[in-house]
């Protein structure tokens, strides 16, 4: 009962901070996509894709540069299956709520995410406001590093995949420039060859925006479903908050996390032990009432 009361209080504070913020940074991890029905591959391959687990493959075996060299049919079979899963899943209402907030009161809503589902862009956010830290699995890069710029994959034109073996049933994509082997242009779990040309542009845009942000602007960082296994989003959310505070600005850090809600004690830190969708819907009701 007390805990429910505390969550209610925290929710009221969080809604007020979002309402008053000039700039809202959404840091979205796997917990954001899970509510749309997307599998969390890092949460366990046996849950995300039982067939891959039966074949005896872990996420580290599959999300691996070497697999593209040794067994491109399996590497592409896995990634094309994921791309199709993600394309067939609609962004949940929480994404639309965030997008609506960006349209009201000229509030600037920016996004940093490690998710590969493109759901923010599909909801209407522009590339200028979204920093996809792990790049895009909808783009390919040359494995010969011939100098070709990463290019967009036409998922619909890709061959089918045998879902029993996860092997691609046709020729894998080749480099547009040199006809050499290609791979997805995203940061793989085991990687040393990712072409970061595109992501560096987005990273610079994100960093410059917050570095040059006036301290008179009130910031709220809404960290949603970011786990501790791959903690880079949590660190980035905390860094933006700390930098703005250090420069004399006001920044609130709101952590929405059903399983790992703990946040450091600070008068402007708020923890909401809820799922992404529930938290955003409740907050939206409070803001629009």
- Strand spans (E) along 71-212: 108-113, 130-132, 135-142, 151-152, 161-162, 167-168, 182-186
Q: Which of residues 241-260 bind Zn ion (CB under 5 A)?
A: none
Size of the site for Zn ion (CB under 5 A): 8
CB closer to Zn ion out of 12 and 174: 174
220, 24 Cβ separation under 8 angstroms: yes
- Among the residue ranges 101-109, 139-147, 161-169, 220-228, the one whose residues contact Zn ion (CB under 5 A): 139-147
List C-alpha distances in Å: 245 to 149, 187, 214, 250: 38, 31, 12, 6
- Answer for which of 148, 174, 189, 218 binds Zn ion (CB under 5 A) is 148
Question: What is the closest distance, in whole angstroms, from the C-beta atom of residue 69 to Zn ion in the complex?
Answer: 14
CB closer to Zn ion out of 23 and 175: 175
Question: What is the closest distance, in whole angstroms, from the C-beta atom of residue 193 to Zn ion in the complex?
Answer: 13
- Among the residue ranges 90-98, 138-146, 196-204, 261-269, the one whose residues contact Zn ion (CB under 5 A): 138-146
CA angle 203, 205, 211 (to 5 degrees): 100
Question: What is the closest distance, in whole angstroms, from the C-beta atom of residue 176 to Zn ion in the complex?
Answer: 7
- Among the residue ranges 59-67, 134-142, 207-215, 221-229, the one whose residues contact Zn ion (CB under 5 A): 134-142
Residue 96: both structure tokens together: 């639309």
- Answer for which of 47, 90, 127, 146 binds Zn ion (CB under 5 A) is 146
- Answer for which of 144, 198, 260, 269 binds Zn ion (CB under 5 A) is 144
CB closer to Zn ion out of 192 and 248: 192
CB closer to Zn ion out of 175 and 256: 175
State the Cα–Cα distance between residues 242 and 239, nearest whole angstrom. Answer: 5
Quick one: DSSP state of residue 34? H
Q: Which of residues 151-180 bind Zn ion (CB under 5 A)?
A: 175, 177-178, 180
**Which DSSP helix (H) or strand (E) runs through 47?**
helix 45-48
State the Cα–Cα distance between residues 180 and 173, nearest whole angstrom. Answer: 9
- Furthest-apart CA pair in the chain: how many Å? 65
251, 23 Cβ separation under 8 angstroms: no
Applying CB under 5 A, the residues found at the interface with Zn ion are 142, 144, 146, 148, 175, 177-178, 180
């Amino acid at each position: 009962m007390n805990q429910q009361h505390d969550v209610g209080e925290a929710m009221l504070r969080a809604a007020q901070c979002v309402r008053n913020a000039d700039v809202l940074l959404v840091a979205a991890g796997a917990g954001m996509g899970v509510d749309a029905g997307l599998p969390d591959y890092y949460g366990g391959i046996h849950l995300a894709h039982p067939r891959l687990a039966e074949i005896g493959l872990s996420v580290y075996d599959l999300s691996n540069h070497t697999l593209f060299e040794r067994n491109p049919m399996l590497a592409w079979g896995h990634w094309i299956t994921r791309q199709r899963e993600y394309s067939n899943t609609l962004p949940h209402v929480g994404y639309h709520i965030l997008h609506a907030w960006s349209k009201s009161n000229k509030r600037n809503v920016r996004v940093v995410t490690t998710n590969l589902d493109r759901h923010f862009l599909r909801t209407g956010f522009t590339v200028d406001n979204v920093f996809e830290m792990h790049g895009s699995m909808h783009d390919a890069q040359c494995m010969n590093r011939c100098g070709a710029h990463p290019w967009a994959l036409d998922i619909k034109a890709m061959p089918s995949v045998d879902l029993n073996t996860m092997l691609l049933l046709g020729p894998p994509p080749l480099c547009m420039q040199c006809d050499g082997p290609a791979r997805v242009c995203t940061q793989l779990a085991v990687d040393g060859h990712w072409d970061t040309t595109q992501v560096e542009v987005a990273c610079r845009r994100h960093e410059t925006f917050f570095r040059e942000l006036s301290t008179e602007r009130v910031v709220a960082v809404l960290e949603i479903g970011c786990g501790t296994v791959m903690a880079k989003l949590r660190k980035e959310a905390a860094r933006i908050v700390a930098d703005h505070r250090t420069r004399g600005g006001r920044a609130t850090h709101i952590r929405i996390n059903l399983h790992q809600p703990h946040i450091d004690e600070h008068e402007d830190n708020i923890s909401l032990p809820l799922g992404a969708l529930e938290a955003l819907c409740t907050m939206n009701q409070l803001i629009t009432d």
